[in-house]
Each structure stands twice: as structure tokens, then as C-alpha cells.
Structure 1
Amino acid sequence: MKLRTGGSIAVVLPSPIGDSLIGLVLVDNLIRNGYRPVVFGWVAEQLADWFPQVTVGRPDAWQRAFDTVIELRPTDYASALSRSGKTLCLAALPEYGGSKHMVDRIVDIASNVLGLSDVTRENGLVVPAGVMRGRFDNRVVIHPTGSHPEKMWSRKKFLALSRVLSRRRLQPSFLVAPAEFSVWSDIAQEGCEVNALPQLSEVAAWIAESSWFIGNDSGLGHLASCIGVPTLSLFMRQGLARSWRPGWGPGAVVLPPSLLPFGGLRERLWQRLLTVRRVTSAFQTLHGKHARALHHYAAADFGDAASTQATHAARIGMLPGAQSRRF
């Protein structure tokens, strides 16, 4: 399908953070090729400052306004944006399936379906000027939750991992959603820092000013990768990791060992099979590989970093809705 030159285009992003960031690859390619799409979705709204080239719309203001409406997966409002009532749903296309990484599937659609000539894997994210990348030399963001409980490593193991990182003079910083804060705030009594920030832009800034990210297979891993923070992602199985691992900045995936012959059984037991030692080893490899690349940021010893972080955390904590706990 060749897009009509001069035609109005809407791109409707899915709700999950990772899916939206991948969908923004298509948006960036449309812009690179001279189109001016209007983008819909809460992720684009809250990260508007991080995607300054993107025009973000609200559905109520754009009813029946577009010649072409593209949605990654079916939504309940995309058709109302279309003059014809029809949409192009990427999930229905053969190129959306298969075993390639999701970013590469979007690139294939941009090239082979939409006929775009200047195509990239990037999504156009730009760190705002007020955010100091890698400001906290030793801070490791730990994201222990996610939208799918079956993809989440155990709380006990994340806490054990944080103790290992602390012994190695790193500063683990747990990051959870505001609705999850009450469940996780008690870990401050064990000497852990835990934060919940109300806006995705604030979450992005917290990650960007850190130096490392460890988390489950979830959207914040994609966000960290987009920003360029070295990212370690915990996956239950290889197939998921092949298609959905964070696909932009430096990073690695850690999987449970293949000790069991049946995939279904491995999925049910992956949290038990994936040990703290295995995750620690994977992070040590990632850290060693990319630590030198981070040295051009302002360096500080562990004590100075902790002091600076406390000041910064107090500032973050004063934002409306922010929650933070420290021992």
C-alpha cells in the first residue's frame, strides 16, 4: 500500500509502553519520509518532550479527520478517527508475524508495505536538555514488576540481587508504579530505596540519570534501551527474548538454564530456575562491557553519588504524586 502524498495520517499506539515505543519507530520513519502523522496514545502524550518531532493528538478533537489511520493492534477508537471508518491494522499483516525482532517487523512494514525509502530502526527519542544522562554513576534502576505476573521474577530474588549490588558499591534503586508502591514500600526497612513516580516523563528522567537498568520483560526495559542506558532483561524463554528484547541501546538478556525438556514446564518454573547468581553474573558481564563507555559522564565516588542522589531524590519526591522510601 502506497501512502498518498499530502494525505492526512493518524498513528494509534497500543497501551503497553514497550509496544508504543516500538510503534514510534513507524512514526519516526513516516516523518523521515516527509509525512506528518498525528499520533495518539497515552505514552506519546506523557513523553511528548522526549519526542519533540511528533505531533500528539487527543481522539475527541480529531473525529473523522484522517485519510489513513494506522494502528498496531485493534483499538476501540481508531476507526472513529478515519473518514472512511476503516483502519490499517499492522497486526493483521503477514510482516507483523514471524520470528524477527518486533522492531525489524515494523521496519519491514515501513519498507515493504508502506513503500518508505528512508528507513531506520530508531524511534526518534531525544533526551530533553534538562535531564543529565548518567548523572548517577553507580545507580542501578531495578524494575521488579510488570503487567504480566507470569513474567515477573520473585520479590525475594530481586531483594537478594539488590544486596549483592550494594556490596559491590553500586546503588540499587527500585522503581515501581504508583499503584504498586504500597506493596513495595516496606522494603525500605531492609535498607532498600524504592520510588514511584506518577508521570512516565519522570520515570524516563529517573532512568536516564541512572547508569544501569535491570528488570523483567516489560515496557520500562524498552524505555531504558531507547534512552541508551545499559539494560539487563530477565526473560522466561528464548523465543520471547528473540522477538521482544529491548532493541536499541546496549543490553543483554538473561534466561533460566534449559534443564527441562518441555517448554510449558520451563515457563511454569522459570522463576525458580533463574538464580540470583545467574542474574548477577549476567549483570557483571554487561557492566564490564559498558562501564568504560559511561566514564565520559561526570564521575563521582560512591559516597558523593549517594549524597547527590539524596538531594535529587528529595526534588523528585516533591513532585505531585511522587512517593519514595529509604531506610
Structure 2
Amino acid sequence: MRGKEVNLVNTPGKNARLLFVPPGKLGDSLISLVIANNLVREGFDVTVRGEFPHQLDQWLPGFKTGPNIDHDDYEKITRKYDLSIIDSQAPNLQQGGVDLRPNLARHSAFFSLAHYETSLDGQFDPQTLPAEFQRTLQPLVPHHGLVRNHQDLSASMVSHTVQFCRREMNLLNADSVNGIKLPSEIQKNEGLAKKLIVISPTSGKLKKNWLPDRFIALADHLHQKGYFCVFTVAPSETASWKRRLAGRFSVADTARVSALATLLSKASAVVCNDSGTAHLASAVGASTICLISSRDRFFEWRPGWGNSTLIMPSIPVKSIFNIWPYFISVRRVLDQVMRTPTEETLRKS
């Protein structure tokens, strides 16, 4: 996940302290970090406040990190920085019938990947910027905070975010790197990695999940071919999946996102639904096989980094509720896993 090196301009404005608050979902958070990382590449001092980035602090050496900001602390904390850049759907902005965004918008820049409150556009007051940084920071404030460009139907959300950085934040050299780097203390066990398949059978929405029995059947086939399969699910799902697997396969302890990132980084391939795990696997460089309900090969929310493959239903059935998983066979997924290049073959290519 290396971006091209940037010669940082040593100007007083680049010493400005920025606060970046990403959305609360794992996948969305990872995509939005493309913005934060491009700010770092330009020489700004960036602090990211979000639960998932904070758990990945060892994987994000370019940022300072902290947990989610509490509702009552937003005004105080944002005032400590020269500019705050906040996702409009970030945790705790709306609570108990109180929406903090209209007041914060006077001195904080708002954006959102896909669900944006357009009423926040044009509310920023440049006079709230520190005088010594005003010329440097004002160009970072978006005129229009929606990241997704509905005119470009083929771009991934990662690509949309890069274009947003260039179009709305004047970060003309923006790239798609989100700042994740493999910590030096995490080394791959090469003998295991060539045979380790991580299976993530759940997601944030039931309607996005392939059939549980087919994930297990896939693991059975891979086991017969000499692969070592490990399942990973959310902590709230661990007990039910341990019962379902009945000791045939293990469920990894990935309660913390850092543990999940470590596991994914060691895998030969990751098989998953459209989920945060898919984006994290892609971000840490794992070959990612993502099962989706859409037949759109330009599916916007596809994993946007590394070697990623989409597997779609064999016929267009998305409009028929909950039937799409039956039109992705175990054989198709198995064949794709067998074709997935290992890290060694990728290095040689």
C-alpha cells in the first residue's frame, strides 16, 4: 500500500493541526482515510478520531488517533484544531434529538461518502480559521461535501474519494492510499500463508450475506485440497457460528479490528460478503474474493485496493428479495479461490 513519495512543502501553513472524523462503519471509515492520508502527504499534522482507526493505530503510522468523540465534546474538541474535517454521518453528531452539525458547520468542514446533508454546504465561515493558516486551509473546505460522483458510474468509492480530494479539497496530487502499513512486528508465516484461507460469512446486513451452509461447504472443499480455513465474524456472532461449525473449523478471536487486520494480512485469500472485512482485507494487501448481490462489475462499493475479485449471481435476481445467494454456487467460488494468485506469484508478475 505504498503511495508515491511527496516532497513536503516546508511552509508555516503546513504545520496546521487538522482533526479528521471518519464515518462509524469499518468499510466507510477505511475509504474515508484516503482523505486523511492525502492531507498527511501534503504535510499537515492530522489526528483521526474514530473507534476503528484508533484500534488500528499501529497500522496507521502517519496519524495520531483517538476514539469516537462523545456528543457533548464535539464543540470543545473541534475548537482545539486549526480545521476539523468531519463526516456528516460520524458517530454521536446526532443524539437525544440534538443535531450538532448546523453549529459545527460554521467552523468545521463536512463531507460524506454517500449520504450527505446538502444543507451543510456553504455554511463554513473562513473567518473562523486562524489568520496565519487561512490561505492554506481555506482551499481544503469543500464547496460540495458529497464524495460520490453520480456522473461516474464505473468508479469505485475509493476512486470517488481520490477525485473528491482533487476536485473539492485542491489536493491535486491525491492518490488512493489510505495510510495502512503492515506493522514491523507482524511477520507472515510463509508456510502457513500460502495455505491459509480466511472466510468471513457475515456482514452488517443479512441481505448481503451468501448462504452460511455454502460458506461451510466451501471450507470443506478447501480443507480436502490441503488448505487451512479459519472463520471470522463479529463478536456478537461468535457463539452462534461456533455452534454452527461444531468444531469442524475454528472461529478466530478478532474482537479487535487490529487482530482482524493481522489475520487477514497473513491469508492467501479472503472470501467474504460485501462488508467492512472485504475493505480491510483489500487495504492490508490480501487477495479478496467478494460475493455480492449485484451483477454490476462496476459495483461502487467494491474493495478498492490490491487484488480483489467480485463474484456475482449467474443471472440478474437482485430485485427478488433474498434469492441472489442461491445463484452463486460453491463450485464458482472454489474455482476462484484456486485461481487466486499467491503473494509469491504476484511478486513475480
Structure-2-length-normalised TM-score? 0.75
Q: Say which of 130, 142, 148 aligns to 1:96.
A: 148
Cα distance between partner residues in 2 of 1:156 and 1:73 = 38
Retained in 2: the 8 A contact 1:40–1:57?
yes
2:322 is equivalent to residue 268 of structure 1: yes
After superposition, residues 160-309 of structure 1 pair within 5 angstroms as: 160-189=217-246, 191-239=248-296, 242-258=299-315, 260=317, 263-265=318-320, 268-286=322-340, 289-290=341-342, 292-293=344-345
Q: Sort the Cα spacing of 1:187 and 1:67 in 2 relative to 1 into closer, same or farther, 3 A.
A: same
SS in 1 for 2:280: helix
- Partner residue in 1 for 2:63: 54
Deviation of 1:241 (Å): 5.8
Deviation of 1:130 (Å): 1.3
Retained in 2: the 8 A contact 1:212–1:230?
yes
Cα distance between partner residues in 2 of 1:71 and 1:57 = 14
In structure 2, give the amino acid aligned to 1:245: R
Deviation of 1:107 (Å): 0.6
2:212 is equivalent to residue 155 of structure 1: yes
In structure 1, give the amino acid aligned to 2:220: R
Aligned length: 288
Q: Deviations over 1:18-67 (max 9, x none)?
A: 11111111111011112122211101110000001101135347252234
SS in 1 for 2:310: strand
Cα distance between partner residues in 2 of 1:199 and 1:81 = 34
Cα distance between partner residues in 2 of 1:223 and 1:94 = 23
Deviation of 1:70 (Å): 1.9
- Partner residue in 1 for 2:170: 115
Deviation of 1:214 (Å): 0.6
Retained in 2: the 8 A contact 1:69–1:87?
yes
Q: Which runs of 4+ in 1 moved over 4 A?
A: 4-7, 78-83
SS in 1 for 2:173: coil
- Partner residue in 2 for 1:304: none
Retained in 1: the 8 A contact 2:297–2:310?
no
After superposition, residues 123-142 of structure 1 pair within 5 angstroms as: 123-133=178-188, 135=190, 136=192, 137-142=194-199
Q: Deviations over 1:209-235 (max 9, x none)?
A: 222111111011111111111110011
Q: Sort the Cα spacing of 1:241 and 1:143 in 2 relative to 1 into closer, same or farther, 3 A.
A: farther
- Partner residue in 2 for 1:321: none
- Partner residue in 1 for 2:80: 65
Q: Sort the Cα spacing of 1:211 and 1:285 in 2 relative to 1 into closer, same or farther, 3 A.
A: closer
Q: Please state which structure has a larger fraction of its residues in helix.
A: 1
Q: Deviations over 1:179-201 (max 9, x none)?
A: 11110112443521222322111
In structure 1, give the amino acid aligned to 2:169: L
Deviation of 1:273 (Å): 1.2
Q: Deviations over 1:281-305 (max 9, x none)?
A: 222222xx34642789xxxxxxxxx
Cα distance between partner residues in 2 of 1:45 and 1:81 = 26
Deviation of 1:95 (Å): 4.5
Structure-1-length-normalised TM-score? 0.80
Retained in 1: the 8 A contact 2:85–2:108?
no
Q: Aligned-pair RMSD on alpha carbons?
A: 2.6
In structure 2, give the amino acid aligned to 1:32: R
Q: Deviations over 1:243-274 (max 9, x none)?
A: 111111112110111255xx412x53101111
SS in 2 for 1:176: coil
Retained in 1: the 8 A contact 2:295–2:312?
yes
In structure 2, give the amino acid aligned to 1:195: A
Cα distance between partner residues in 1 of 2:109 and 2:314 = 43
